[in-house]
Amino acid sequence: MIGLDTNVLVRLLTADDENQLEAATRMMTPFEGIAHSFYINDMVLVELVWVLRRLYGFAREDCLLAIQALLNSDAYAFEDRARLAVILNLCKEQEHDFADAMIVFKNTAASCEYTATFDKAMSGLLYVKVI
């Protein structure tokens, strides 16, 4: 399994740098059809959404679709595929910020009683306490 950095995923999703896209494709081609060849950790996913939104102007929904496409592919492994699916659905249905939802779900998985925040937009998430 090969871990992927955010910039590799950005190249694959935006094709904004022909040389880097070609290098990423060349690196990945020998693994075609092999399940879980590439690992995408949660930090990379959060950074991916940030980069796509802030630097490339992607709409929130397009970022969620990009992550859903990665999740739907057997080529990729994740920290917790089931948790990621729940976070994506929550973000789609209730329009929560992806990073906020990831933070809360990771804290909950770590047995935190709640996530303390000043961010009122997070108040709609379970196990969040606005202080």
Q: Looking at the 3D structure of the chain, how many domains does it have?
A: 1
Over residues 26-66, the pLDDT tens digits come to: 999 999 999 999 999 999 999 999 999 999 999 999 999 99
Query: What DSSP string describes 49-110?
Result: HHHHHHTT---HHHHHHHHHHHHH-TTEEES-HHHHHHHHHHHHHH---HHHHHHHHHHHHT
Any residues with CB less than 8 A from the CB of 14 and at least 6 apart, and which?
52, 56
Over residues 57-99, the pLDDT tens digits come to: 999 999 999 999 999 999 999 999 999 999 999 999 988 899 9
100: its two tokens: 């906020």
Whole-number Å distance between alpha carbons of 105 and 86? 9
Whole-number Å distance between alpha carbons of 66 and 72? 10
Measured from the Cβ of residue 109, the count of other Cβ atoms closer than 10 Å reads: 11
Q: What's the domain range around 97?
A: 2-130
- Mean pLDDT confidence for 113-129: 94
What pLDDT is recorded for position 67? 97
What pLDDT is recorded for position 95? 86
